[in-house]
Amino acid sequence: MEALRSLGQLVLALSIFSHLSLLAYSSSTQDLQIISAERRIDLTSHIVKVFLTLKVENPGTSPVSEVLLAFPPTQVDHLASLKAAITVGKKKKKSYVPLEVNPTELPDAPNGAKSFTISLLNPLNAGETATLEVLYILTHSLEPFPEEISQSESQLVYYRDSAIILSPYYIKQQTTFIRTPSTRVESFTRVESTDRAGSEIKYGPYKDRSTYSYSPIIVHFENNNPFAVVEELVREIEVSHWGNLQITEHYKLAHAGARHKGIFSRVEYQSRPHAGGVSSFKHLLARLPPRVHSVYYRDEIGNISSSHLRTDYLRSDLEIEPRYPLFGGWKATFVIGYGLPLEDFLFESPDGRRYLNFTFGCPLAETVVDKLTVKVVLPEGSKDPSAVVPFSVEQHLETKYSYLDVAGRTVVVLEKRNVVPEHNSHFQVYYTFNPIFMLAEPLMLVSTFFFVFMASVAYLHIDFSICKSS
């Protein structure tokens, strides 16, 4: 009986806690309202960038420290980056302070809508307002239609969204602007208050929209920009305390646009570059760090000489050209390697540990990486490695054996999917290292030469004959 009574009390406590959490969520959504919302959707590339400005007001009686964002489930699957900031000051003195954004679960969200929480710096008191700037990036959100095109055809794509901003709050006034790469728009959904001027489509302004309002729209337009997608990229960063940093990058590149149909005419492609293969690409730009050296670029066949390197004191631009232009559905694999001076990237922390400060992400401009693996190969003898990355990644350790290694080198492996250029930020790998291990390889070389020398001397002085000559 005592066990049943305690079990009943536990169930009652859990039910009360769940009801309180529901009330907390509902009160947080009811205590806020959006005075004005402006959304600008940039479709000029195959990477969709959405800029959202929200003016939030607290009409309630209690302070609110979080603001919720809602996304349809189809967009969450393609959400690569989500950042938020709050505006401080006015006009010329205006500045933006980054805010923390984390996924959250709302049990009462309709139609599988996914939510994220923006944590404010200071709680928003009753009657106060705040202006939030939100940037989120979507990948693989442009659907080619038709799915196959010939060499002379332009590429048309679909973009699906809502004319009304999906939000858990009541919105007094909102407007959506959609920008396309050119003025060629085959069709777009017309709803209430729809207007178009050149390459921009305007939906709104809409007033007094209730929570989770949704109005689906489709825009069918021309987009001949390169749909460069790296299906898999493996970056290996090898640290050598002898003064060098060696980078090796293995690429599996694909054109993710409308698939090419028919035959490919090299003559038409070269004689009419603006009419034949306008949606293809044959050049890629890799932005490398300054003071780069020993650069090479090759594929399965061998070294590719069609590349150009421009360097200055700020950065190095490597323009590469695959062996053939890439049309929709075509793929290419290649390797880029280069060296860097270690002193520009390896530092010592106040606690005596050493750390590598390097850039995460893909060096290729305007490229989506479906799967990125960064391997940091530390010198032999390194201990207690740890990585600090400004966003969530999967981490684990490996061991690699190279020339003259005895115990092997520790490898810090970082993996992330759906990587965009906004992920090209610095990360750090900390480790401890005893300088005595730098003598391991020279001592091993000296010992090897000494052993070979002594073996040669012994071989020359030993008589292996069976019987002595008379």
Above 60 in pLDDT, residue 371? yes
Domain final residue pick, 222, 249, 265: 222
**3-state SS, residue 103:** strand
- Integer-rounded Cα Rg, in Å, for the chain is 30
**3-state SS, residue 65:** strand
Residue 22: predicted pLDDT: 37
Instruction: Specify whether 194 is located in the same domain as 258.
Output: no
Give pLDDT tens digits for 204-233.
Answer: 899 999 999 999 999 999 999 889 999 999
Pairing of strands 185-188, 129-138: unpaired
The mean predicted confidence, pLDDT, of the chain is: 87
- The strand ranges marked E within 72-190 are 79-88, 95-104, 114-124, 129-138, 143-144, 148-149, 156-162, 170-179, 185-188
Residue 264: predicted pLDDT: 82
In a domain? residue 11: no
Give pLDDT tens digits for 31-88.
Answer: 799 999 999 999 999 999 999 999 999 998 889 999 999 999 889 989 999 999 998 8
Query: What is the distance between the terminal CA atoms of the chain, rounded to a whole angstrom?
Result: 109
Sign of the torsion angle spanned by Cα atoms 343, 344, 346, 349: positive
In a domain? residue 468: no
- Give the 3-state secondary structure percentages of the chain, helix then strand then coil, rounded to 5: 15, 50, 35
Q: How many domains does the chain have?
A: 2
Domain range for residue 425?
228-442
Strand partners, 426: 359
Instruction: Specify whether 238 is located in the same domain as 288.
Output: yes
* Separation CA 279–CA 255 (nearest Å): 10
| CA 135 from centroid of its chain's CA atoms | 14
Above 60 in pLDDT, residue 26? no
**Domain at 305, CATH number:** 2.60.40.1730
Residue 226: predicted pLDDT: 86
The pLDDT of 415-438, averaged and rounded, is 88
* Separation CA 38–CA 54 (nearest Å): 7
What pTM, to 2 d.p., does this model score? 0.85
**Please, which pLDDT band fits residue 324 given cuts at 50, 70 and 90?**
confident
Above 70 in pLDDT, residue 8? no
Instruction: Specify whether 208 is located in the same domain as 248.
Output: no
The pLDDT of 445-463, averaged and rounded, is 79
**Please, which pLDDT band fits residue 312 given cuts at 50, 70 and 90?**
confident
| CA 123 from centroid of its chain's CA atoms | 31
Residues 189-192: contacts with CB under 8 Å, at least 24 apart = 189/163, 189/216, 189/217, 189/218, 189/219, 191/163, 191/215, 191/217
Domain final residue pick, 198, 222, 246: 222
**3-state SS, residue 162:** strand
Residue 442: predicted pLDDT: 67
Instruction: Specify whether 89 is located in the same domain as 116.
Output: yes
**3-state SS, residue 126:** coil
In a domain? residue 355: yes
Give pLDDT tens digits for 396-418.
Answer: 999 988 776 667 889 999 999 99
Instruction: Give the Cα-Cα-Cα angle 444, 445, 446 (nearest 5 degrees).
Output: 90
In a domain? residue 447: no
